[in-house]
Amino acid sequence: MASAMRCAVLGDPVAHSLSPTLHNAGYAALGLDWSYDAVRVPAGGLAAFLAGLDETWRGLSLTMPLKREVLDLADEVTDRARLAGAANTWVRGERTLVDNTDLPGAVAAVRERYDGPVHSATILGAGATAASTGLALCELGATRVTLLARSPERAAETAAAIRRHPAEPEVVVGSLADDVASGEVLVSTVPADAQTPDLLARCTGPDAVFEALYEPWPTPLAALARDSGRALVGGLDLLVHQAVLQFEMFTGRPAPLAQMRAAGEQALAARAGA
């Protein structure tokens, strides 16, 4: 695969994504004549986009709202993507394959920052990222996962995905508006503007906080965790670790993690300065 190849991240919105920065930094570090772009593809538009790709396209990263839509648009779906009910990675080979690197990426991100026990955990929000991180927590040992959602109906699909983990965890659905976070790890997948003082006051118990966002940074929850001295896993940690796995799937080469992370940190610092 010596010729120039193309990759991209797809979603809506997608212009804010740091994925092009990370992947292109990896290509540069390894001297690969590859390119990685951000392309807006709205819900319902993925099949048409895939149909228009030529043989120069090697891989795609999928963000919302396409992580569940892509499951029906590949020749092969990995076990972990089926388990999560969502995929964030599309790879073209002899057959097209979709995978979920958010799950192992979340495991790596947590263990990089927190080496304590994980018996139970609370997740704020109930979308595709909540499903992947919930399964990652089960990989780390959690036997009880609490989802705090705006409504039980919104959490049903994610709760079902986490319950499918071979460890058969107990999954409890609670109220984002009223309930208190419990367990050793707290994961937030909700927007920064939803992190109200009332919510923060109910999130002081867990030993580690995993903030899935990387912009704006720090979020109110991340700032609270940092200032209280708790272990803090950031959205950039997750993004880098899942991108490293994608990079290796796309290129077949070991990913330069340090260079990819540094590029992401520099880009976020530049945005903050601007």
Helical residues (DSSP H) of 44-127, grouped into ranges? 46-51, 79-84, 102-113
Determine the pLDDT at residue 198: 98
* CA dist., res. 185 & res. 230, Å (int): 10
Would you state the structure tokens that stand for residue 133, as one six-digit string? 């991180």
Determine the pLDDT at residue 274: 67
- Name which of 239, 260, 251 is nearest 91 in CA terms: 251
Superfamily of domain 6-100+240-273: Leucine Dehydrogenase, chain A, domain 1 (3.40.50.10860)
Domain with CATH 3.40.50.720 in the chain: 104-233
Determine the pLDDT at residue 1: 42
Identify the residue whose tokens are 């139970």: 120
What is the 8-class DSSP label of residue 68? T
Q: CB–CB of 100/87 below 8 Å? A: yes
Q: What is the pLDDT of residues 4-39, one digit of tens each?
A: 899 999 999 999 999 999 999 999 999 999 999 999
Catalytic residue among 23, 58, 67, 92: 67
Q: What is the pLDDT of residues 223-243, one digit of tens each?
A: 999 999 999 999 999 999 999
Q: What is the pLDDT of residues 154-190, one digit of tens each?
A: 899 999 999 999 999 999 999 999 999 999 999 999 9
Is 50 strand, coil or helix?
Answer: helix
Determine the pLDDT at residue 128: 85
Name the pLDDT band for 79 (thresholds 50, 70, 90).
very high
Name the pLDDT band for 152 (thresholds 50, 70, 90).
confident
The whole-model pTM stands at 0.93
Q: CB–CB of 183/122 below 8 Å? A: yes
9 is catalytic: no
CATH no. for 104-233: 3.40.50.720
Domain with CATH 3.40.50.10860 in the chain: 6-100+240-273
- Name which of 265, 210, 260 is nearest 232 in CA terms: 210
Q: At residue 17, what are phi and psi to the nearest 5 degrees?
A: -60, 140
The letter for the amino acid at 260 is M
Q: What is the pLDDT of residues 187-223, one digit of tens each?
A: 999 999 999 999 999 999 999 999 999 999 999 999 9
- Asked if residue 2 has pLDDT above 60, the reply is no
Would you state the structure tokens that stand for residue 116, as one six-digit string? 């304590």
Q: What is the pLDDT of residues 231-274, one digit of tens each?
A: 999 999 999 999 999 999 999 999 999 999 999 999 999 998 86
Q: Which residue has the higher pLDDT, 122 or 129?
A: 122
Element spanning 131, H or E: helix 128-139
* CA dist., res. 23 & res. 114, Å (int): 26
Q: CB–CB of 180/202 below 8 Å? A: yes
